[in-house]
Structure 1
């Protein structure tokens, strides 16, 4: 399976200038390719093929005085920028025809030099390498210092150099990682994700919601207020923008670290994990939008998915319309209308339920039934 490993980069001032030049050239090539295809479409001409576009936008453009500076960066960076454009068009066309699943993909749009995030990609053709001294050697940029936090499991097939809104540089390696099955265990767990508690497990354990954004609101508000007082276009405003970006980056990093540690612990502890397939996009349109985004449910579930595949575990997603909260885990009776402020309820059979723990137990039971059906078990009840 393919995995992505991210490491912090510390380029020198000269290397930062070379990276800025590479970011700009990749952006120009992307925009030139998009403009060429848009002009061809407006003129009623056929769609420009990928090979013809590369020849026109890169090979021939380098020979002109207006684009001669494209030769100052690696050609692989320019080719990968056009590859991103071609992929964006393919996704757009597949979305229009209905072949692409998931949210509808829009038409490609022009990239701005004011974007908070800039990125370039080097493939093996660029002959990037990790030096014996532990530095990342990039063509026409040099040997960049890397802060290695772990070893790469295999030789990387590509590396993407990213500059985020906070001005930090990262190297993102794509590597092939073999499966590492963990010793089998008999424990299985159902997880009910929420806001009062981030996760409630079917064994009764409750994981508190860290609320990273809520806890950082005061610091973020002060940084945003300081930004609003700076004159537009001034150097002080640029510094204030960087302070706001760094404050948000700290929140995102803390949330990601929490999700990584919790998902790893759950995957190592259980042979099968059952979660509810929540409609995060729909919940994000309600008054709970800020809290929903702060929780980061989708990020956590995605981590569970790829770690389960890597370590030989099973992840089962339960349908979001399954009445996990209102279904009695003891007798199977379904309660009536139950508003969110009701956190515990009593079933007519006499069982007293904590709403979240009961939901986690029902998710576990539904996940076990789903696994049985997927393995060829009986779907219809016996006569």
Structure 2
């Protein structure tokens, strides 16, 4: 089964924009109410009857079952009789909100994520497969059919691939407007790329964004740091405005648009770098980094600004699209190992940017040496003969 996601800019009318805004507010209320129901049920069963808190305690009947996705969907159907507001959005849209809440609890139980938080606002709604249609007209007014909203204009920047079926549409609200993310599905088996061709190891860092085993060094653009001065000026102006005023909302919108611009710039750089690497190699190996630990260190701002996790995800996607093999290898000791003789060099300071082996005398850039070690470990993992760097030097 092959799944693709195509993103297009929506051009709704004023009435359609008001409808989408109202649906987002209702979905936010449903999400928070369902979360509160689950949280209260859990708090009522935290302690024994003879050891309740002195101040207060949640009291819910012991016969009350645990709120699950199925039970909350039934409660939602009953709540529509009392609250006409819940009848405005499509039923499946509200059910997808409850499914999203269920997914957050599953991620907490199985993958160690944090406890779900209440939402201040919803940023997207999901339309599952409900006669979803995308029509490309000759006059350029392309449209998409959203249930209970009707035909909404969109900018079809690229044609939909033939044979694919639209499974769902996620409408996302951003500072620059509404976007439709179309999930396309085709019942076909896609073979995974096999390891062949020229191998390339990469080492990610903050001195240089990326170093390759071929000796290429790519500088790290400072997306957020460069845009931080403008953000400070806007936020300083916002602090002097009355909360809830028209000027306050205008400044909040400008700040959100600047954050979106920074995010788009970062993603554009990641895609261009990933395509550049795939054009030069048939196999790409990267370190399996502990990104969560890196994001909590003293250099957390610069680590998050670089977006290593997003880049590795994009690189994996581009490699699959171009039929290039991609794999991650163990990251322990890559910068402490000589790629020529495998000696542990024992570098103690990050300021030591030159790799010079005390045993064989191999000398090169520290990040390039780490990338070469990554390539050797990748060759070993796929069963290829590892190259020996620095021969004859």
Give the TM-score range, shorter chain: 0.7 to 0.9
Determine if contact 1:185/1:270 at 8 Å carries over to the other structure. no
Q: CA deviation at 1:76?
A: 1.6
Q: Could you say which residue in structure 1 is the equivalent of 2:343?
A: 333
**Equivalent-residue separation in structure 2 for 1:285 and 1:107 (angstroms):** 19
Q: Report matched runs for 1:88-107 at 5 Å.
A: 88-92=104-108, 95=109, 100-101=110-111, 104-107=112-115
**1:175 counterpart = 2:184:** yes
Aligned to 1:61: 79
CA deviations over 1:271-327 (Å, ceiling 9, x no partner): 211111222222222221111111111101011223333433222212121x22221
The alignment status of 1:128 with 2:132, answered yes or no, reads yes
Deviations 1:17-47 (A, max 9, x none): 0101211222222233334444555313221
| Whole-Å separation in 2 of the counterparts to 1:292 and 1:155 | 38
Match of 1:148 among 146, 150, 156: 156
Aligned pairs for 1:165-204 within 5 A: 166-176=175-185, 179=190, 186-204=197-215
Matched, 1:84 2:100: yes
Structure 1 residues 325 and 132: CA distance shift in structure 2, 3 A: closer
Q: Secondary structure at the match of 1:163?
A: strand
Unaligned runs of 5+ in 2: 45-59, 386-393
Q: Judge which range, 232-241 or 171-180, deviates more.
A: 171-180
* Aligned counterpart, 2:55: none
Q: Which residue is equivalent to 2:252?
A: 241
Decide whether aligned partners of structure 1 residues 145 and 37 sit closer, same or farther in structure 2, where only a CA change above 3 A counts: same
1:86 shift after superposition:
2.5
In 2, Cα distance between equivalents of 1:185 and 1:285: 37
The TM-score with structure 1 as length reference comes to: 0.86
Q: Does the CA-based 8 Å contact 1:259-1:303 persist in structure 2? A: yes
Q: Distance in 2 between matches of 1:185 and 1:52?
A: 51
Contact persistence 1:180–1:311 (CA under 8 A): no
Decide whether the 8 Å contact of 1:180 with 1:310 is kept in 2. Answer: no
Please identify, of 167-176 and 239-248, the stretch whose mean Cα deviation from structure 2 is larger.
167-176
State whether residues 267 and 308 of structure 1, in contact with CA within 8 Å, keep that contact through their aligned partners in structure 2: yes
C-alpha RMSD over aligned residues: 2.4
Superposed counterparts of 1:106-121, under 5 Å = 106-112=114-120, 115=121, 117-121=122-126
**1:380 maps to what in 2?**
none
Aligned to 1:71: 87
How far apart are the structure 1 equivalents of 2:271 and 2:65?
A: 47
Q: Please state if 1:270 is matched with 2:281.
A: yes
Q: SS at the partner of 2:336?
A: coil
Q: Separation in 2 of the partners of 1:213 and 1:40?
A: 42
The answer to whether the 8 A contact 1:34-1:110 is kept is yes
Q: Check the 8 A contact 1:181/1:310 in 2, yes or no.
A: no
Cα deviation 1:143-173 (Å, max 9, x = unaligned): 2221222223322200111112x25211111
Distance 2:336 2:70 in 1: 58
1:52–1:288 distance in 2 versus 1, CA, 3 Å: closer
CA contact (8 A) 2:211 2:367 kept: yes
Q: Please give the alpha-carbon distance, in whole angstroms, between the structure 2 residues aligned to 1:202 and 1:25.
A: 52
Partner of 1:210: helix, strand, or coil? coil
User: Matches of 1:332 and 1:109 in 2, distance apart?
Assistant: 48
The verdict on how the C-alpha distance between 1:315 and 1:182 changes in structure 2, with shifts beyond 3 A counting, is closer
Change in 2 beyond 3 A, CA 1:108/1:297: closer
Aligned to 1:163: 173
